[in-house]
Amino acid sequence: MKLEKKIVGSLALVSALSFVGCGGGGSDSSDTGASAISAAEKKEVLTTYADIALANYTDALNDAIALQSAIDTFKASPTEENLATAKTAWLSARESYGTTEIFRLSNGPVDAEEGWVLTLYGAPEGQMNAWPLDENMIDYTTDADGNETSGNIIDTAGVFTPSGSEASSVDVTNITKEALAALNENGGDANVATGYHAIEFLLWGQDQDYNSFVDDTITNGALAAGERPLTDFTSAANADRRLDYLDAASDLLVEDLNNTLAAWVSSETNCTTGVGCYRGALLGELSGDDAAKNIAADDALRDIFAGMGVFIKSELANERMAVAVYTPSEEDEHSCFSDNTHRDIATNYQGFVNVLKGVYKGSSQGTSFYSKLSAEDKSSIDQLIASIDTRVGTIDSVAKSAYHFDYQIKNGNSNQDNVKYAHYDMRDLGDKMVDVAGRFGITLSEDDVTDSEETDVTK
């Protein structure tokens, strides 16, 4: 969770499996001219948005449960085969979660910052996907000279105090999901103790290959990821605590995803437990005492369009790609331990396209935002999508066959420019959300689709 949220209007702003064609959107992609978008049409597109969220979070939860099961098996029998199976399950879980990230930054249940949505759902995004993390807080690391660090959660059989002047101590005599939740971002944003990336670090260990600033030989090869030894879970000191950590972190992840999914269900509405409540509010369907929670369609659309712009422009293009490529350093890539960043980029981008064009797994889910655009706006967006499809496809294919993302961003690598140009195109696509919003009668500026605190990569 790299970005701070911004405010647009009265509401807070709020993250791809296979690429869809640039025609996209299924059978609802006909031109609509310049006529005003009716209230009924706004509800149609919001329903499609909610349906995609429901389908996507359902898949993410199911894949997280599969990861939890693989970790349970590994804990019971820590073998090389079971470690490999747990890693494969993590990689699979990242596929479905990656496309959900587009639902961030829109004052939704995953990371709302204020109001009843925050109170009811608790904004679990930072507990599920916060990054980058300081791995020294979780377990030992090894420097370029082979020296190991100490003083972390794993090797502290008692009270642990994270770094940071305002950090509070937590008893980790037993590593539980409650203890890890109390430690997550305790004392600073880099003090990440939970979620996908904490699990990733424990499964893979460090990947220091390559680093622009330190010449080391810990991990070697353009297609090599972290290489944590099995002995860390069997005969090494604190082996049992690492297994307990994996167990607790995966349990917490499943719990958080289950609670997030509950917000989007359509079969029932209960604003005491949260089940279906956010979906009902988004579609203006809550009644009785809950009616005050209903979100006006224009307010919902304003937050969604601005959030989509901020996500693809400031979070994906800037924080996850540009910062890494202009540093350049693998410490600034998203999934640096597993070297899975190429899939993060692909799935995060696909999530944006899914929501814009009303599709999921290549199939139309209903009336899309894109279907209501003018022919001119569709054409300019399609040109950008076609270019990004090619560039992201290249990042992905090169990472699988020749160089992981950390090598693609290395100075002198012929693929570095491809990453830079993908970043430029994504920023332009984020700006297009101003035009999309305008088609729905909502005024946004480029400032509204840009995080004011994004990292300045020109420095």
Query: Does a structural domain hold residue 66?
Result: no
Flag whether pLDDT at 12 surpasses 60.
Answer: no
In the block, which residue shows the tokens 């449960």? 65
**Three-state DSSP string of the chain:** CCCCCCEECCEECCCCCCCCCCCCCHHHCCCCCCCCCCHHHHHHHHHHHHHHHHHHHHHHHHHHHHHHHHHHHHHHCCCHHHHHHHHHHHHHHHHHHHHHHHHCCCCCCCCCCCHHHHHHHCCCHHHHHCCCCCHHHCCCCECCCCCECCCCCCCCCCEECCCCCCCCCEECCCCCHHHHHHHCCCCCCCCCCCHHHHHHHHHHCCCCCCCCCCCCCCCCCCCCCCCCCHHHHCCCCCHHHHHHHHHHHHHHHHHHHHHHHHCCCCCCCCCCCCCCHHHHHHCCCCCHHHHHHCCCHHHHHHHHHHHHHHHHHHHHHHHHHHHHHHCCCHHHCCCCCCCCHHHHHHHHHHHHHHHHHCEECCEECCCCCHHHCCHHHHHHHHHHHHHHHHHHHHHHHHHHHCCCHHHHCCCCCCCHHHHHHHHHHHHHHHHCHHHHHHHCCCCCCHHHHCCCCCCCCCC
Contact call for residues 14 and 103 (beta carbons, < 8 A): yes
Amino acid at 459: K
Distance from C-alpha of 207 to C-alpha of 213, rounded to nearest angstrom: 14
Distance from C-alpha of 169 to C-alpha of 167, rounded to nearest angstrom: 7
In the block, which residue shows the tokens 């990054």? 131
Query: Does a structural domain hold residue 115?
Result: yes
Cis omega before residue 78 (within 30°)?
no
Distance from C-alpha of 372 to C-alpha of 99, rounded to nearest angstrom: 23
Question: How many folded domains does the chain comprise?
Answer: 1
Q: How does pLDDT run across 60-110, given as a tens digit for each residue? A: 999 999 999 999 999 999 999 999 999 999 999 999 999 999 999 999 999
Contact call for residues 352 and 312 (beta carbons, < 8 A): yes
Query: Does a structural domain hold residue 30?
Result: yes
Query: Does a structural domain hold residue 371?
Result: yes
Q: Pick the more confident residue, 101 or 209.
A: 101
| pLDDT given at position 218 | 56
pLDDT band at 149 (very low <50, low <70, confident <90, very high): very high
Query: Does a structural domain hold residue 246?
Result: no
Q: How does pLDDT run across 211-255, given as a tens digit for each residue? A: 554 554 555 677 778 899 999 999 999 999 999 999 999 999 999
Q: Which two tokens stand for residue 401?
A: 């066959």
pLDDT band at 15 (very low <50, low <70, confident <90, very high): very low
| pLDDT given at position 215 | 56
Query: Does a structural domain hold residue 77?
Result: no
- Of 198, 205, 255, 202, nearest to 226 (Cα)? 205
pTM of the model: 0.91
pLDDT band at 3 (very low <50, low <70, confident <90, very high): low
Please provide residue 360's backbone torsions phi and psi, each rounded to the nearest 5 degrees.
-150, 130
Query: Does a structural domain hold residue 175?
Result: no
Burial of 83 (0-12, 13-18, 19+ CB in 10 A): buried
Query: Does a structural domain hold residue 326?
Result: yes
141: alpha, beta or left? (left if phi > 0; alpha if psi -120 to 50)? beta
The residue range of the domain holding 388 is: 7-55+99-119+276-286+295-449
| pLDDT given at position 412 | 86
Distance from C-alpha of 175 to C-alpha of 79, rounded to nearest angstrom: 22
Mean pLDDT of the chain: 90
Contact call for residues 441 and 37 (beta carbons, < 8 A): yes
Contact call for residues 257 and 61 (beta carbons, < 8 A): yes
